Structure 1
């Protein structure tokens, strides 16, 4: 077990595992806990400190496990609680920690709490948001994140219930203190079993305007109206959970918060407020969404991306803490999205990683990111499994609301299933993921992009990630240094400095397939610097032009 230390997560790197797609140990086509245990030495070799496990609880699997029917069990598709114990022990023995995914804004509609609530059980009747309809329809105009209205009529109860996601994911009523107490008990149960913290799914959705009024945006995706998230009691609820479940324990708490601002995040992550260690914000991964939403993507505008990430770096520098990510289970593969997954796949994957990992905050590596895994480029809707993607296709394409070809192009580029294809372990059958039939198709490019080949190649994306992770342990300036953006209007070069105790770390990355000049201030351009890391052979000095997708990290003493 790692030794406890104050703020250990600041110098850590977190590896996210999507269990269904990581490693299948029994040939049923679905990844499982025993499969993860098989690969712990791989994670140790990579050098990560924490494993974040996407949901493995019992679930009807309407939203890939984010619809939970039992918070203190393991879904049989993943194994047993004893398998979880083996995973915990295996990680602790290797000096790594285990973080669970806590989905507590909503449950499955098959959770016993919801069953009791719909039947009017005295203790559970107000565990969820129940309301009579109005004018023959839902109680308000809120739309679901997954398309359609955010309300469903229940025949048993004779009322509508609120679900900001799928109808199978009813929202818990956190205004009810018994709900909050039950959630605290879930967290305490896992901590007692040896979990080292939690990533809390859409945690800023738990406080809503209690009057549930109409919002300024109606219809599909109207959930992000001013009344649905970041509600008036959010700080109170988070502080209470910290005090009841986390205080005095050596744990990591991360809150996923769509729609959170820098100013709000400063409050949430300020240690004196005792709420969260860090938040996941979405501003930077929403920048390429077009007028029609995420499935109407626009090309990367690096200047806009820099403005967003830099604002968060500066905004949280003196008070809070950043989580650093571009990939996860809800985002397409970044090398396909912002990089070049063809000619410059390795170069762009490593340049983007260098840019992110040298910032202030805790980096998150999503499974396969360290291999430079790409989007699957599936062009047939029958190949997709993601609820959000299928709902979008049904409500927008099949009804003729959007052009079918354009919509499929957007789905191919932006669907969450791009991140959920099986981990590419070998060039063999099914990428070494399973001996059975995988639950979702394997990317055909696993023949050339796989862990076995990457580990054997010192010039691979994998080994560049290893070096990035090692640098964070060696140089305090990477963890604690202040952040100063450079070249903010340059459309190709991402540049910034980190400064601590007289040391200056200069990071330069060319986010394009063309040669680029970095027009640095004179003192930096002429500086005598040590090259700490480069992603191309024979890197030049500070002032040298950047080759296509070249990244360099220089230390100026």
Structure 2
């Protein structure tokens, strides 16, 4: 995936568009909106779990890895989505959830009933060890161990108690993983976002300690490569920047990593209005984790997890973006969408997208962020950020046209100005100054900027709030300039002489001077000889 010509769009099918009138988002509803995604500039569609599931964790509590959740469709509609997306030049990425299953999965039901072979696919203990990992969801889960009365043993769950962990040290589990990978690649997907990678390799190390279990990723790569020439394997691994190369191994393991380290520091930069938090972070990556292998995003399907910041830095981000206790979750994160975090300020939201798309990394957009979709803090935990897409004005926001009420209500008029009458695709699509218009402008522009494939150089001597990057190619360069703060700045840049603007928002260029308003940004092509 070339960074300059790639844009990944992450969506939850159940919340995107109801194509059948039953109140649930469906695969056929996604097909309806493929023209919109193509118009926006999307090249890859990342579907959150579409498996048959227990309905208790956004689809991650998998009951059958090779069956479609009947609420969103069937294999006919999935096959149609693959065909129609491919026809528009859009590739589809699905989830690979092999760190755990639902407690309603047939394997676990058989394990609880005394089937020793199936029991060996999970992690059990007669009593929980005194030392062990902390739970992921405090205080919702106080321990990673729960008692099962039928099995008369404790089972491990790094996530929720209804999601027992799989034993990746078990060869049968690894064989099942290969079967599942083959099934979906043969269905026409381009690859996978692999859930909870560090926990998977941790267990694999018990079977073979080589490379601390990361050999599992080489096995996964081989399983995928047997069914696809260039399978995409995107790892969810919230680890330090210095560890990225161990998960990638020059493409012999994962092809890409979600860049949690950068994501934490993006929001620290936004909170402090200090772009050096971004440039210093970009300087931390080793050559074994090049920009093209790192996926950058603003918000995702979960809480904004800030574990990679110091306690003082985390407190700063919380104070700026989650000042009320109800906006926080799990003692480490923020359960808000992007638009309310920035007080629905279109200039600030466009700035954040300009930063995302200026980095030379592969960008991921969360569905609805391009229009400023809000959140619903009345919903529990991470569900606050999981609200229906808003396509048009009205009480159902164009999410559903059928007689059945939507399974999750659209944001209503009291939701901080984010109801569908104010925020929807229809209202913004033909307005170039809307948030949607500005995001599309950036996405379309970067497709003609192969300079973004080169290494980013930080421009020296800029004011604290200015992110300035240079991407050289031959005798020319691309300059990306973004003001992450509210104070205007006048910049003297000798290399901006005869600059050719690609994108200007809240910006002006004259000779060697670039003026950036608060939250303004500029992409400029310049001659680089001798600069």
One fold, TM greater than 0.5?
A: yes
CA-to-aligned-CA distance 1:208-233 (integer Å, 9 cap, x gap) = 26899xxxxxxxxxxxxxxxxx9954
Partner residue in 2 for 1:227? none
Q: Is 1:255 aligned with 2:235? A: yes
2:295 & 2:399 partners in 1: Cα distance?
A: 29
In the superposition, the TM-score normalised over structure 2's length comes to 0.83
Q: CA deviation at 1:98?
A: 0.8
Contact 2:2 2:292 survives alignment (8 Å) = no
Structure 1 residues 150-159 or 19-28, which shifts more? 19-28
Q: Is the partner of 2:498 in helix, strand or coil?
A: coil
Is 2:311 aligned against 1:323? no
> Is 1:347–2:347 an aligned residue pair?
yes
Residue 498 of structure 1, aligned match among 459, 463, 471: 471
Which deviates more, 459-468 or 101-110?
459-468
- Map 1:292-303; keep pairs closer than 5 Å: 299-300=271-272, 302-303=274-275
Q: 1:531 aligns with which of 479, 486, 501?
A: 501
3-state DSSP class of the match of 1:369?
coil
Question: Could you say what secondary structure the match of 2:63 adopts?
Answer: coil
In 1, Cα distance between equivalents of 2:510 and 2:406: 45
Aligned counterpart for 2:379 among listed residues 375, 384, 394: 384
- Counting strand residues as a fraction of each chain, which structure ranks higher? 2
The alignment status of 1:545 with 2:515, answered yes or no, reads yes
Distance in 1 (CA, whole Å) between partners of 2:264 and 2:350 is 22
Secondary structure of the residue that 2:119 maps to in structure 1? coil
Task: After TM superposition, give the deviation of residue 93 of structure 1 in Å.
Answer: 1.4
Segments of structure 2 that go 5 or more residues without pairing to the other structure are 305-335
Where does 1:122-271 land on structure 2 (aligned, <5 Å)?
122-133=116-127, 140-147=131-138, 148-208=142-202, 233-247=212-226, 249-258=229-238, 260-271=239-250
- In structure 2, the CA distance between the partners of 1:517 and 1:319, relative to structure 1 (3 Å rule), is closer
Distance 1:211 1:365 in 2: 34
| Cα distance in 2 for residues equivalent to 1:36 and 1:440 | 17
Cα deviation for residue 116 of structure 1 reads 2.1
Match of 1:99 in 2: 93
Secondary structure at the aligned position of 1:208 is classed as helix
> How many pairs does the alignment contain?
480
Check 1:308–1:180 CA distance in 2 against 1; reply closer, same or farther (3 A cut). Answer: farther
Q: 1:357 to 1:299 in 2, by over 3 A?
A: closer
Distance in 1 separating the partners of 2:103 and 2:48: 20
- Match of 1:430, SS state, is coil
Which contiguous aligned blocks of 4+ residues in structure 1 show a shift greater than 4 angstroms?
Answer: 7-10, 209-212, 287-290, 298-301, 312-320, 487-490, 537-542
Q: What secondary structure does 1:456 align onto? A: coil
Aligned twin of 1:510: 483
Aligned to 1:399: none
Residue deviations 1:459-483 (CA, integer Å, cap 9, x gap): 22223222322233212102x1111
Cα 1:459–1:301 change in 2 (3 A) is closer
Match of 1:222 in 2: none
User: Does the 8 A contact of 1:314 with 1:483 survive in 2?
Assistant: no
1:434 and 2:400 equivalent? yes
Distance 1:374 1:314, change over 3 A: farther
Please, what TM-score do these two structures have when normalized by structure 1? 0.79
| Whole-angstrom distance in 2 between the partners of 1:491 and 1:335 | 24
| Alignment equivalent of 1:485, drawn from 458, 478, 487 | 458
Q: Which sits farther off after the overlay, 528-537 or 446-455?
A: 528-537
* Contact kept in structure 1, 2:7 and 2:443, CA below 8 Å: yes
The match for 1:336 is 340
- 1:290-327 superposed Cα distances (whole Å, 9 cap, x missing partner): 9xxxxxxx945635741564235675665862112112
Give 1:514 shift. 2.4
Q: Which 10-residue stretch deviates more, 432-441 or 491-500?
A: 432-441
Q: Closer, same or farther in 2 for the Cα pair 1:467/1:314, shift >3 Å?
A: farther
Do the aligned residues in 2 keep the contact of 1:508 with 1:551 (CA within 8 Å)?
yes
CA distance in 2, matches of 1:355, 1:316: 23
- 1:130 deviates by 0.7
